[in-house]
Structure 1
Amino acid sequence: MATPHNQAGTNEIAESILLPGDPLRAQFIAEHFLEDVKQFNSVRNMLGFTGTYGGKRISVMGTGMGCPSIGIYTYELIHFYGVKNLIRVGSCGSIQESLKVGELVMAMGASTDGNFAHQYRLPGTYSATASYELLECAVRSAREHGYSCQVGNILSSDLFYTETPEWKEWAKMGILSIEMESYALYCNANRAGVRALGIFTVSDSIVTGEGLSAAERQTGFTNMMQVALETAAAFTE
């Protein structure tokens, strides 16, 4: 069933999907990690592919930048295409000195400076959390491979360029890193009763100024991709 943002037909998308923000990263994952790949979407150049990993059927699709964009794509994936396991893979900026460039971050929870949850008319502030089942599996995979990772709370910010160093206030609350999408992903998944998790590679440190190049961000996150694929496969029949 096609939507305004996805041309996939019935059963063209697997129940487990990886969600990088960059559609070219989705293409990279499909070409380098999946077998028997078929492209299911190119609307707005938001590329989506389905293939197999270890004999398990898995999809990968770009989501764009920010909560509004991933909010649209994941809502459609869940409600129109029956996706049950959604794993965001992306980059993040460290705001803790102990979290180094190249390390993995598993987002147990996502805070936000945005207003995505206002639609639910909740009488308070919503705490958006990952699926414990996916989180447990991903942490185990990372540790078995010897990949350095930290688990904790992240910030899904609406702001990339800011007038003030607001990250310092979030750092005081133990926030590990900043990205832009997971809060909406977790809200959509929690509301629908499906599983979601954000796995990140630290691409830069806001504390020290260290960082990776654009090319390294696009193709160099293979540890994160491997962990995400193994986690997705574990929840795919």
Structure 2
Amino acid sequence: MNIPTPHNKAKAGDIAKTVLMPGDPLRAKFIAENYLEDVVCFNTVRNMLGFTGKYKGKTVSVMGSGMGMASIGIYSYELYNFYDVDNIIRIGSAGGIADNIMLRDIVIGMGASTNSNYAAQYKLPGTFAPIADFGLLRKAVETGEKLGIKTVVGNILSSDTFYDDNKEANLLWKKMNVLCVEMEAAALYMNAARAGKKALCILTISDHVFTGEALSAEDRQNTFRDMMEIALEIA
């Protein structure tokens, strides 16, 4: 077996079949401390914290992914292929692009457009469309309805650049009805597809690219709970 890895000190059986992946490892710690019972920390390598515990009797893991497709590409690949994880649910923040996307909205990425060259490794004779697992997506929407949490489903952008030299880039994506921009989902969806596993990206809108609106740190913590609770319920 290829475990432990250079990035994850967990042993076989330490990680649940479903992993929630926020970008920030401290958010993983927050979820473990506030939602899980009987928690065990399985990883501290590079401070990319990972925990396994119980949520309403179900075994669930939560682990940070870091920022960008290169980072989540490594961690999700290892979880799928080395630790026998079946489902990864990314729970992160995003910047709104579409006019109808507001602060605090919960966006579920049905598809993840990207400006990344991540798919080049597969040597495909065309353009691959990274998409979510429909079963997880449907459960997330239904769970949001049960909890009274509004969700918006559509196409998101996974960008390799946070500071883009092309200042018109987001406007061009907006013309294609892309809802928001983040930095990880496309790589996660591709890794899942290649491994024959399942993935979903649930996002909270923390700021808006065109209006300049942004949530405070306190607002982010309170709003992000909605996203966390949807993910935990479907785990």
> Secondary structure in 1 aligned to 2:39?
strand
Asked if 1:17 corresponds to 2:19, the answer is: yes
The residue correspondences of 1:37-48 to structure 2 (distance < 5 A) are 37-48=39-50
| Match in the other structure for 2:72 | 70
| Match in the other structure for 1:49 | 51
Conservation of the 8 A alpha-carbon contact between 1:28 and 1:219: no
- TM-score when normalising by structure 2: 0.96
* Corresponding residue to 1:91 among 93, 116, 129: 93
CA distance in 2, matches of 1:39, 1:92: 27
CA distance in 2, matches of 1:203, 1:165: 21
- Shift of residue 158, structure 1, vs aligned partner: 0.6
Asked if 1:175 corresponds to 2:175, the answer is: no
- Shift of residue 220, structure 1, vs aligned partner: 4.1
CA distance in 2, matches of 1:98, 1:167: 15
CA distance in 2, matches of 1:169, 1:156: 14
Conservation of the 8 A alpha-carbon contact between 2:20 and 2:231: yes
| Match in the other structure for 1:235 | none
After superposition, the CA RMSD in angstroms is 1.0
Q: Which amino acid in the other structure matches residue 79 of structure 1?
A: N
CA distance in 2, matches of 1:106, 1:220: 15
> Secondary structure in 2 aligned to 1:221?
helix
* Corresponding residue to 1:197 among 197, 200, 218: 200
- TM-score when normalising by structure 1: 0.96
- Shift of residue 27, structure 1, vs aligned partner: 0.2
- Shift of residue 16, structure 1, vs aligned partner: 0.4
Per-residue Cα deviation, 1:94-133 (whole angstroms, up to 9, x for no partner) = 1011110001000000010010000000111110000000
- More displaced, 206-215 or 100-109? 206-215
| Match in the other structure for 2:232 | 229
Residue identity (%)? 55
Query: Where has structure 1 moved over 4 Å in runs of 4 or more?
Result: none
Conservation of the 8 A alpha-carbon contact between 1:110 and 1:127: yes
Unpaired runs of 5+ residues, structure 2, are: none
Q: Which amino acid in the other structure matches residue 168 of structure 1?
A: L
Q: How many residue pairs were aligned? A: 232
Unpaired runs of 5+ residues, structure 1, are: 233-237
